[in-house]
Chain A
Amino acid sequence: MKKLFSKSIKRIIEKWAVNEWKVAFSCLIIALALPIVLNTRYLLSVMTICCVNSILAVSLNMLTGYLGITSLGHAAFYGLGAYTAAILGTRFELNIIVTLPAGMIIAGIAAFLLGLAAIRAPSRHLAIITLGFCEIVKIVELNWFSFTGGANGIHSVPRISLLGWDLSGKYAKYYLALFLLILTISTISLIMHSKIGRAIYSIRDNEIAAESMGVNVFSYKLFVFTFSAMFAGLAGAFYAHHFSYVSPLSFTFEQSIVLLSMVILGGIGSMPGTIIGAIILSLLPELLRDFTTWRQVIYGAIIVILMVARPSGMLGKYNFKHIRQQVKYSKLLTKNENKPLEKMTG
């Protein structure tokens, strides 16, 4: 029974790997079509949150999964983006056309400066350095009263509108979030499929070897760190307009941990896995609503069980490119019945 189960999973994964683009495309179609069925405001708002969290998880995955740096402070950049958008939106009444890029830039600058100072530190130190940075940002948000409103946060951030259209309806917000998600996914996958991407992978696999091959480890690390923070800033800026309220309590170290959990749960270094992880961890608290006081306990228990059942995350173990090659070879083999080659495919 168990064997059958794992075999069928293997087959599904193989199918998925071979038809990766078709699957991605149909997922997109489904995501676009979902609001037809799930059209209440609650569901759409949850789905919008799924998109925002996916952007965050995908950007964190670039840092943690592709480069191998564990960040416990991703929420800091998320918060910086949100605060930038909120401050620009409330004080200068700027449109999202300005605030979204501004959120990205501010988060990027902060990450660049932090990275410039600290990215050379060993990976495990970076975990605590980013954690510390997250706390520092939160504390500044709390204490810089005249600018950030302290614990009160900033409310009535202007609703989303674009070139005169009001985009603050439930459908529009969802599609905008989805659009931003696709933008993030496509930008990051384009980078990872390029020369830069291969350099990044080489740093993850062996930093010293990569360095000796002429990869400038420092600047690549700094680039990924900044880039990943920029997308967190983008998510934050959208969040500020989406909820029209930001407060320091939304961007704490705990939030960073949740984001990291999404990446790990889905499978480190796997783009679809990360998105699945983000969706699961965004939906889980909602699905557990009926358990009221028990829900956090169950939530924790589910995480433990999932990790024990699949220690590498949902899709962590599968390298789609590798599986595709395997499938190709086995097809070749069955065609030619070339026995000696079998060892290569195993």
Chain B
Amino acid sequence: MLFQQLINGLTIGTAYALVTIGFTMIYGVLELTNFAHSSYYMLGAYLCVSFMNLIGLDVLGFLLGTIGAILVCGTISALTDKLALGVIRKRGGAAISALLCTIGIQTVINNAIILGYGSETRQFINVFNLGRFKIGPATVSWMQVIIATVAILIMLLLTFIIRRTKFGAGMRAISQNQRAAQMMGVKVNKIIQWTFFISASVSALSGVLIGMYYRTLEVNMATVVGSKAFAAALLGGIGELPGAVIGGFVIGVLESFVAGYVSSGYRDAIAFAVLIVVLVVRPQGILGKKIHHKV
């Protein structure tokens, strides 16, 4: 029971972790709460299904569909930055104005999906029939293993990009001081657009994977992931990708334990209560470093 609940929690946590990675990237660079982020999660899953219907309901169709979904979502995300968020930045709008803009983008995407696909829950055909195996008393499906592996791989890859490449150095520079970075020759707008591209791609990929795991697509799937990703990002420590993954897992496991042992009705309430306590006690998050503010 305990072990099975732990596995359940890790599965839920993987979904949060995957979304949080992209979310925390943008938050780390621009300190922008991107509400549209979870919409790409949903859009990616829907697009993948559309592409699969066009190409074929097999592994090839799935792979091509996933790539297609990633590219489309990434492009839309980069375009929103170019056409809207970037303009707001340029005109000196406050970070909070960009936040409202992302809320608008989220509303458009979520409702465009309802318009385009209808609000009926749709099934996502699982092209890999991988089966399950048992660890002790608990059942684990291979799909869960794959998703968790992908999450960790993406995290490692992006951590590498941020820490070791020139592009990553640019991102870090922007996150510290945008104007100074610009003066040092960092192509600020280009890097931010690519950050948006990458973050939405990761989000779309996670939507595809999670959609396939639960074999279902529904129009509510974006709403809850968004706030949980926000919570996980802060819990893990802002801008820290490993923190994002840990934060996601912690929230997922916490939820499933609360639901299993305390009350399923209060699962989110207790998860958020714990989050509040953690943030009050340790404001920098699990992996974050303490920043001292100066005048």
Chain A contact residues, CB within 8 Å of chain B: 64, 70, 117-118, 120-122, 124-125, 127-129, 131-133, 135-136, 139-140, 142-143, 206, 208-209, 212, 253-254, 257, 260-261, 264-265, 268, 293-294, 296-297, 299-304, 307-308, 311-313, 316
B51-105 interface (Cβ within 8 A of A): 83-84, 87-88, 91-94, 96-101, 103-105
Q: Contacts of B104 on A, CB cut-off 8 Å?
A: 300-304, 307
Of the candidates B31, B91, B108, B280, the one whose C-beta lies within 8 Å of that of A304 is: B108
Asked if B88 and A128 make an inter-chain contact with CB atoms under 8 angstroms apart, the answer reads no
Name 14 A/B residue pairs within 8 A (Cβ), A-sorted.
A120-B280, A121-B279, A129-B279, A131-B227, A131-B231, A135-B269, A136-B269, A209-B295, A294-B115, A300-B105, A300-B107, A303-B103, A303-B107, A308-B101
In the assembled complex, the Cα of A294 lies from the Cα of B100 at a distance in Å of 20
- 5 smallest CB-CB distances across A and B, nearest first, come from A311-B93, A300-B107, A303-B104, A132-B272, A300-B108
Asked if B234 and A124 make an inter-chain contact with CB atoms under 8 angstroms apart, the answer reads yes
B127-160 interface (Cβ within 8 A of A): none
In the assembled complex, the Cα of A309 lies from the Cα of B227 at a distance in Å of 28
Asked if A136 and B108 make an inter-chain contact with CB atoms under 8 angstroms apart, the answer reads no
* Nearest-Cβ distance from residue B188 to partner chain A, whole angstroms: 17
Q: How many residues of B contact A (CB 8 A)?
A: 50
* Nearest-Cβ distance from residue A273 to partner chain B, whole angstroms: 12
* Nearest-Cβ distance from residue B116 to partner chain A, whole angstroms: 10
* Nearest-Cβ distance from residue B244 to partner chain A, whole angstroms: 14
In the assembled complex, the Cα of A139 lies from the Cα of B88 at a distance in Å of 36
* Nearest-Cβ distance from residue A9 to partner chain B, whole angstroms: 15
What mask results when residues 265 to 279 of chain B are scored 1 for a CB within 8 Å of chain A, else 0? 110110011011001
Asked if B115 and A139 make an inter-chain contact with CB atoms under 8 angstroms apart, the answer reads no
Of the candidates A293, A302, A311, the one whose C-beta lies within 8 Å of that of B88 is: A311
> What number of A-B contacts does a CB cutoff of 8 Å give?
141
Q: Contacts of B168 on A, CB cut-off 8 Å?
A: none
Q: Contacts of A122 on B, CB cut-off 8 Å?
A: 283
Asked if B279 and A308 make an inter-chain contact with CB atoms under 8 angstroms apart, the answer reads no
Asked if A307 and B101 make an inter-chain contact with CB atoms under 8 angstroms apart, the answer reads yes
* Nearest-Cβ distance from residue A118 to partner chain B, whole angstroms: 5
Asked whether any CB of chain A lies closer than 8 Å to the CB of B40, the reply is no
Asked whether any CB of chain A lies closer than 8 Å to the CB of B206, the reply is no
Asked if B280 and A118 make an inter-chain contact with CB atoms under 8 angstroms apart, the answer reads yes
In the assembled complex, the Cα of A267 lies from the Cα of B93 at a distance in Å of 11
B144-201 interface (Cβ within 8 A of A): none
Q: Contacts of B103 on A, CB cut-off 8 Å?
A: 257, 261, 300, 303
Asked if B276 and A133 make an inter-chain contact with CB atoms under 8 angstroms apart, the answer reads yes
Q: Contacts of B280 on A, CB cut-off 8 Å?
A: 117-118, 120-121, 129
* Nearest-Cβ distance from residue A3 to partner chain B, whole angstroms: 17
A297-B107, A301-B104, A313-B97 as given contacts; A129 in contact with B84, CB under 8 Å: no
Q: Contacts of B112 on A, CB cut-off 8 Å?
A: 297
In the assembled complex, the Cα of A270 lies from the Cα of B256 at a distance in Å of 44
Q: Contacts of A70 on B, CB cut-off 8 Å?
A: 96, 99
Of A64, A120, A129, A316, most B-chain CB atoms within 10 Å: A129
Closest B residue to A139 by beta carbon equals B269
Asked whether any CB of chain A lies closer than 8 Å to the CB of B24, the reply is no
* Nearest-Cβ distance from residue A72 to partner chain B, whole angstroms: 8
Of the candidates B83, B97, B273, B276, the one whose C-beta lies within 8 Å of that of A312 is: B97
Asked if A143 and B283 make an inter-chain contact with CB atoms under 8 angstroms apart, the answer reads no
